[in-house]
Chains A and B, each alone.
Chain A
Amino acid sequence: MVLVFLSVVVYSQRNDNVKVRLNNYTLTVGAGWTHYINNLQVGGENLQNDFAGVSVKFFWEPEHRLSLGLESGYYKLFKANGLLTDNTLGQVDRSVIPALVLIRMRIIENMHLGIGTGIALITNKIAGGGQKVVTETLSLSNFELSGAYIYPLNKHLLLGGEVKLFHFGNTEDTMYSIQATCAVRF
C-alpha cells in the first residue's frame, strides 16, 4: 500500500501542471453505505452489519496540496439478536460518532488521499435480559484512511464521492464506508 501511494505521489509530482489553489475553507456533508467488518468471536453469527452513515467535514485548504480538517459523523456498526441464558431474546446494537483530525493531500487533479486520527464515542445498547442498558465508551486510538474524488461544479460548490476505512482501537472495530459528498467552498 505504501509503494502504491509512493508511486502515485511521484507520478503526480512529475506531471504536476495543476494550478495552485488559493486559501479556501470547505464544509462537506456526505452520506452513504457503511459495512462493519465482522470479527466478533462471540455473537457474530446473525449480525446485521450494513447500514447508512453520514459524515460532516470542515477543511482548511491552503495553496499547496495539503489540507487540514476535522471530521465527524454517525455510523451504526452492527445490530444483532442473541439468545440469553434466561431463554429470552436480547437485541444489541453498536454505533459510533468519531471526531477526527484529517490530513488530506491532492494527488492529481480532483483526487485526494487522506489520513486521520482522533477520538470516537462508541455507544452500545442492549435490550433484554432484565433491562435496557446503554453504555458509552470513549475510544482514544482510532484512525481513518480515505480516498476521495471531488469535482468543482463552480467556485463554491463541489460534488464528489469518497471511500473510507475506519478503525476504532478501544473496541477493535473496523468498518468502511462509501459516500456521496457535497461541499461548499468559501
Chain B
Amino acid sequence: MHYPNISFGYKLKKMAFTLKGELAIVGKVSTKSGEIEVSRSKTFLNGGTLSFFVEQRIHHNKVFIIGLKDNYVKFYWPTWMLFSTFNRFYHIPELYISWIL
C-alpha cells in the first residue's frame, strides 16, 4: 500500500500541531488460503485519511503525541476488513498515542 500525504504544522511556545491528509492506494491485493489464491486486485484507490496530532512535552524533555485519525477506506489492514467482499467505503477512526522516550 502507498500513502502519498501532505502535512501542515504549526508550532506554539510549548506545543506543536500537525494536520495531515493521506491517500491510501493499494498496489496489489492477493488473498490466499493454502495454495489457492482466493482473490486478486490490481492498483486501486482504497480511500483517504485525515489526521490531527498534538505534540507537547510530558516529563523533562520527553515528547508526547496524541492524535485522531479518520480513515475513509474500503480495506483497513489492521482488522478483518481486509477481506471484505463489498465495494463500500467505511469511516474508521483511530486514536493515536505516542511517547518519544
A and B directly contacting (CB within 8 A): yes
| Interface positions of A (Cβ within 8 A of B) | 2, 6, 9-10, 13-14, 16, 23, 62-66, 68, 103, 105, 115, 117, 143
CB neighbors of A among B45-65 (8 A) = 52, 54, 56-60, 64
Contacts of A64 in B (CB 8 A): 14, 56-59
Report B-chain residues with C-beta under 8 Å of the C-beta of A9. Answer: 15, 54
A112 to chain B, nearest CB (A): 14
Q: Are B95 and A62 in contact (CB under 8 A)?
A: no
Whether the Cβ atoms of B17 and A6 lie closer than 8 Å is yes
- The proximity string for B residues 9-50 relative to A, scoring 1 for CB distances below 8 Å and 0 otherwise, is 000111101000000000000000000000000000000000
**B interface bracket (residues with beta carbon within 8 Å of A):** 10 to 19
Q: Which chain A positions have C-beta within 8 A of B54? A: 9
Closest B residue to A23 by beta carbon equals B59
Residues in chain B within 8 A of chain A (CB atoms): 12-15, 17, 52, 54, 56-60, 64, 66, 68, 95, 97
B56 touches A16 (CB 8 A): no
Residues on A with C-beta less than 8 A from B66 are 103, 115
- Pick the contact of B13: A13, A23, A63, A68 (CB < 8 A): A13
Chain B residue numbers with a CB within 8 Å of A14 are: 12
B58 touches A68 (CB 8 A): yes
Pair B59/A65 contact, Cβ less than 8 Å: no
- Contact residue among A2, A6, A143 (Cβ-Cβ distance under 8 Å from B95): A143
> Would B14 and A65 count as touching, CB distance under 8 A?
yes
